[in-house]
Chain A
Amino acid sequence: MLDVNKRKTMLRQMILVRAFEEKLEELYQRKAMFGSTHSYRGQEAIAVGVCSALQKTDLIASYHRGTGHLIAKGADLYTLLCECMGREEGYSKGRGGKMHMGDMGFGFIGNTGTVGGTVPTATGAALSARVRGSKEVVASFFGDGAANQGVVHEAMNMAGLWKLPVIYVCENNQYAMTVSMEKSTAVKEYSVRGAAYGFEGKTIDGNDVEAVYDATEQAAARGRTGGGPTFLECMTYRWDGHFGGEPGTAYRTKEEIESWKQKCPIKRLKEKLIQEGNLSEAEFQKMSDQVYAELDAVAKRAEAAPLPAKKVELDAIYATSEVGRG
């Protein structure tokens, strides 16, 4: 079992990921944020479990519901929030918004709004690792909806063929926007597809951060030693609607949502730590208060940060020199 400090760090990270989503929602409601949100509440154990098991030199690629992955991999909260809010000091200088960023400085290849679009990108980064003979592993986050995109199939076939060091983290929250898995997918578990590409696929409890950590650690070890990719299907549930302002109740029952809230990944680890005598309710409360207070302070700064000047940046479409791997 993981040591207590590591697990407490993961608990704090999960609270931070959730608090960030709640902050975004608040900013969105106040119209202080441009574009919509894609809440990650309920799925925090996946981002935190996977990224905690990776090394600093490992890489991730993300998707539209991606803020949790970035935070767990080490993004700067102020710069991230600035980007969500279209500020000049954001990761992409306000050009990308929360769905379009990238910074190899902390091993973040990128995210885009094309569902499944970064799965080949992650796979290509893993191909680079193989050609260079490096020990990097790449985690490719995507949702259950993306699993049905053609390019995902193509990329996974190549990854299996060339035994690339990539971990396909399918966050199965059971709804592709509003369409349920049973209405969109011919199989009951996406993980069976691993076999179709010649590598291991398994379905795990995505709300159990320790299970996610362990599975990632095994998959990363496999990737690092030439054993090839792993398909990790993490079963979970998004508490909120697909995007901000969409309540998520037209296609799901209140009972179903409530039952998944009972399986809250934060509550689960918290209660386990308390039961073991490694955490007290007061300690948890303090941890949580600190996280929310820290985020409030960051949000105040971000809200006061300037928007970009009104200008067309024609020169910005091309790189003038190589950015490199950070």
Chain B
Amino acid sequence: MRMQEALRDALHTEMARDDRVFVMGEDVGLFGGAYGVTKGFIQDFGEKRVLDTPISESAIVGLAVGAAINGMRPVVEIQFSDLLPLAMDQLASHAARYNYMTGGRVNVPMVVRNKFATRSGGGPSHSSCNHGAFIHFPGLKIAMPTTPADAKGLLLSAIRDPNPVLFFESHHLYGVKGPVPEGDYTVPIGKAVVRREGKDLTIVTCGGMVLKADGAADALKAKGIDVEIVDLRSLAPLDKETILKSVAKTKRALVLDEGPVTGGISAELAALIQENLFSDLKGPVVRVAAAPIPPPHSPPLVDAMIPDVDQVVDAVMRLAEGGKIA
């Protein structure tokens, strides 16, 4: 099953099970969503629960906040993560803060799905990876599936969570196929997973970059370096335990992220690892992340901005200088 279908499966399952769940967003109704995730929903659940909205990202998220407070479980689709800043006040100063600021009297169980990934042709307003900006706002949960199974499991957990969950779906992963458990299958938010076991070095990463980490691990295996990959799956809350356990074992860490290198999740991870494991580390924590520029349009410019397998391999080889790693 492709990730799109897994997301559709999860959302359809939950809408059939819980009539508090409804979807709203631009083109989610008759058209079935920009990525086909809600295709056919309007026939199955009717216009009251599948709302095509005007182009008003701020109010789409804002209305979802109010509907969530008043007993519903809205699942919003924002077509591109580039458009999340339009709704920033509603996400960061409203949804994220209600539970804390009301002393737990008001909570906001809602999901904001959005597509991200830097790719050629998207350009500066349609291909941002701005997930790192949102870890700065306490109160939001942030999920980012890599496999179709996780997409289903995380989305079901997100809808059932009593908090606002920002759900990042990678453009590069929509078409990736994988097995998806049938029925009620959940993956907890806040739990990372070791995708690949290894003993020499840990790559901590998320989303589409997991595939690149895997490619790099294959290449490095041929050079005798055994790589472990930790897939975050959730950026908030961050599963510190799984990350630190892996790095404590391998004693070397590379942090890989598709978002701009400055101040994002890669910086957070690097700080987390060195603060906790400095004396155990056999080398510095290395960051490989996107260049801190707006996402460009033309393929060579995009390729230069986004980390690729070779860059990861090179960074590991630098860390392994003198063959000390093996």
Tell me whether A161 and B49 are in contact in the complex, defined as CB-CB below 8 angstroms, given that A127-B67, A132-B72 are known contacts: no
Docked-complex contact B141 and A131, CB < 8 angstroms: no
| B residues contacting the other copy or chain, number (CB 8 A) | 45
Docked-complex contact A319 and B67, CB < 8 angstroms: no
Q: Which residues of B contact A316 (CB under 8 A)?
A: 99-100, 104
Q: How far is the CA of A322 from the CA of B22 in the complex (A)?
A: 17
Q: How far is the CA of A319 from the CA of B165 in the complex (A)?
A: 12
Docked-complex contact B70 and A325, CB < 8 angstroms: yes
Docked-complex contact A120 and B63, CB < 8 angstroms: yes
Does A39 reach chain B (CB closer than 8 Å)?
no
Does B128 reach chain A (CB closer than 8 Å)?
no
Docked-complex contact B107 and A322, CB < 8 angstroms: yes
Interface size class of A (residues with CB under 8 A): 35 or more
> How far does the Cβ of B97 sit from chain A's closest Cβ, in whole Å?
7
> How far does the Cβ of B78 sit from chain A's closest Cβ, in whole Å?
14
Binary contact track B54-69/A, C-beta < 8 Å → 1, others 0: 1010110111111111
Docked-complex contact A124 and B64, CB < 8 angstroms: yes
Docked-complex contact A120 and B99, CB < 8 angstroms: no
| Chain B residue with Cβ nearest A92 | B103
Q: Which residues of A contact B109 (CB under 8 A)?
A: 319, 322
Tell me whether A131 and B67 are in contact in the complex, defined as CB-CB below 8 angstroms, given that A95-B100, A114-B94, A319-B99 are known contacts: yes
Does B89 reach chain A (CB closer than 8 Å)?
yes
Does B13 reach chain A (CB closer than 8 Å)?
no
Q: Which residues of B contact A92 (CB under 8 A)?
A: 101-103, 105
Tell me whether A124 and B105 are in contact in the complex, defined as CB-CB below 8 angstroms, given that A110-B98, A154-B58, A155-B62 are known contacts: no
Does A198 reach chain B (CB closer than 8 Å)?
no
Docked-complex contact B106 and A151, CB < 8 angstroms: no
Docked-complex contact A93 and B62, CB < 8 angstroms: no
Does A194 reach chain B (CB closer than 8 Å)?
no
| Chain A residue with Cβ nearest B49 | A131
Does B124 reach chain A (CB closer than 8 Å)?
no
Give the one of A93, A100, A118, A127 with max B CB within 10 A. Answer: A127
Binary contact track A139-162/B, C-beta < 8 Å → 1, others 0: 000000000001100110110011
Tell me whether A158 and B53 are in contact in the complex, defined as CB-CB below 8 angstroms, given that A124-B65, A132-B72 are known contacts: yes
Q: How far is the CA of A247 from the CA of B51 in the complex (A)?
A: 47
Does A54 reach chain B (CB closer than 8 Å)?
no
Docked-complex contact A123 and B107, CB < 8 angstroms: no
Q: Report how many A-B pairs have Cβ atoms within 8 Å.
A: 173
**CB-contacts of A84-121 with B (<8 A):** 90-93, 95-96, 100-105, 109-110, 112, 114, 117-121
Docked-complex contact B138 and A317, CB < 8 angstroms: yes
Q: Which residues of A contact B74 (CB under 8 A)?
A: 124
Partner of A110, one of B48, B56, B69: B69
Docked-complex contact B66 and A120, CB < 8 angstroms: yes
Does A259 reach chain B (CB closer than 8 Å)?
no
Docked-complex contact B62 and A123, CB < 8 angstroms: yes
Q: How far is the CA of A318 from the CA of B63 in the complex (A)?
A: 20
> How far does the Cβ of B103 sit from chain A's closest Cβ, in whole Å?
4
Tell me whether A91 and B67 are in contact in the complex, defined as CB-CB below 8 angstroms, given that A110-B98, A155-B62 are known contacts: no
Binary contact track B61-87/A, C-beta < 8 Å → 1, others 0: 111111111111010000000000000
Tell me whether A325 and B71 are in contact in the complex, defined as CB-CB below 8 angstroms, given that A112-B94, A124-B66, A131-B49 are known contacts: yes
Docked-complex contact B101 and A128, CB < 8 angstroms: no
> How far does the Cβ of A44 sit from chain B's closest Cβ, in whole Å?
25
Does B93 reach chain A (CB closer than 8 Å)?
yes
Q: Which residues of B contact A114 (CB under 8 A)?
A: 89, 93-94
Does B163 reach chain A (CB closer than 8 Å)?
yes
Docked-complex contact A324 and B71, CB < 8 angstroms: yes
Does A264 reach chain B (CB closer than 8 Å)?
no
**CB-contacts of A273-326 with B (<8 A):** 313, 316-325
Docked-complex contact B66 and A323, CB < 8 angstroms: no
Q: How far is the CA of A123 from the CA of B24 in the complex (A)?
A: 14
> How far does the Cβ of B255 sit from chain A's closest Cβ, in whole Å?
23
Give the one of B48, B61, B107 with max A CB within 10 A. Answer: B107
Q: Which residues of A contact B66 (CB under 8 A)?
A: 61, 109, 120-128
Does A130 reach chain B (CB closer than 8 Å)?
yes
Q: Which residues of B contact A81 (CB under 8 A)?
A: none
Tell me whether A151 and B101 are in contact in the complex, defined as CB-CB below 8 angstroms, given that A109-B70, A114-B93 are known contacts: no
Interface pairs A-B: 10 shortest CB-CB = A124-B66, A120-B62, A154-B59, A124-B63, A102-B106, A154-B56, A319-B107, A93-B103, A128-B70, A121-B66
Measured CB to CB, the residues of B under 8 A from A are 22, 48-49, 51, 53-54, 56, 58-59, 61-72, 74, 89-90, 93-94, 96-107, 109, 138-139, 141, 162-163, 237
The contact sample of 26 A-B pairs, CB cut-off 8 A, is A61-B66, A93-B103, A102-B98, A103-B105, A112-B101, A120-B59, A121-B63, A121-B65, A124-B62, A124-B63, A124-B65, A124-B67, A128-B70, A128-B71, A151-B62, A154-B56, A154-B59, A155-B59, A158-B54, A316-B100, A317-B96, A318-B99, A318-B163, A320-B162, A324-B71, A325-B71
Measured CB to CB, the residues of A under 8 A from B are 59, 61, 90-93, 95-96, 100-105, 109-110, 112, 114, 117-132, 136, 150-151, 154-155, 157-158, 161-162, 313, 316-325
